[in-house]
Amino acid sequence: MKAIVNATPLIALGLLDRLPLLPQLFSEIIVPQAVYQEVVVGGTGKPGSQALLSAQWLQIITPDVAPAIDPLLLGLDTGEMAVLLLAQQFKPDWVIIDERLGRSVAFALGMPVKGTLGILLAAVYAGLLSKDAALDDLKQLVRQGIHISPRWQEWFRHEVEAV
């Protein structure tokens, strides 16, 4: 399975020390050059940056095409636009993106979308993470200042308990 990943899920999984879940769940993990720059180069010393710097499983790719419209006009940042362009180019099994607008655009383009919570839930289903660990991870993300709406928190709790 192939995934294209945006910055926030990489940062969130880095905060949790759960980046190894990505190569356990996916055979191919693609990150746009712009996202890599943001998380690894711009985020030197922050959670996940060192792990990504040395990740052998990570493919760093620049999209073959430039956006037809300035991403800022759509409200997207450069990394989000690069994720969407790469998703159009590579047709991944999942586009992993947390930001609401980026997710909405991906859905509108017919792309399969997961976020950080979806990755944690997939790890529970795959037996890579216990239910308790996943619920603890949710609490830790919220404590660390990652914004997750109460609706998504409730959805996640419900889905984890249903496994």
Could you tell me where the DSSP H helices lie in the chain? 7-16, 21-25, 33-36, 49-53, 71-74, 78-90, 100-108, 116-125, 131-143, 150-162
Please tell me the predicted confidence (pLDDT) of residue 91: 96
Q: What is the pLDDT of residue 50?
A: 80
pLDDT number for residue 45: 78
Q: Mean pLDDT in each 10-residue stretch from start to end of the chain (163 residues)? A: 95 93 97 92 78 88 74 73 94 96 92 97 98 98 92 96 93
Q: Given this model, what pLDDT does residue 75 score?
A: 73
CATH for 2-129 (3.40.980.10, 3.40.50.1010, 3.30.450.90, 3.40.30.10): 3.40.50.1010
Instruction: Say which residues have a Cβ less than 8 Å from residue 95's Cβ, sequence separation at least 6.
Output: 3, 4, 6, 83, 84, 87, 106, 111, 112, 113, 114
For the chain, what are the domain ranges? 2-129
Query: Quick one: pLDDT at residue 118?
Result: 97
- 83 Cβ partners below 8 Å, 6+ apart? 4, 5, 6, 32, 35, 95, 97, 102, 106
**DSSP 3-state of 100:** helix
Distance CA 153, CA 100 (A): 15
How far apart are alpha carbons 51 and 109 in whole angstroms?
31
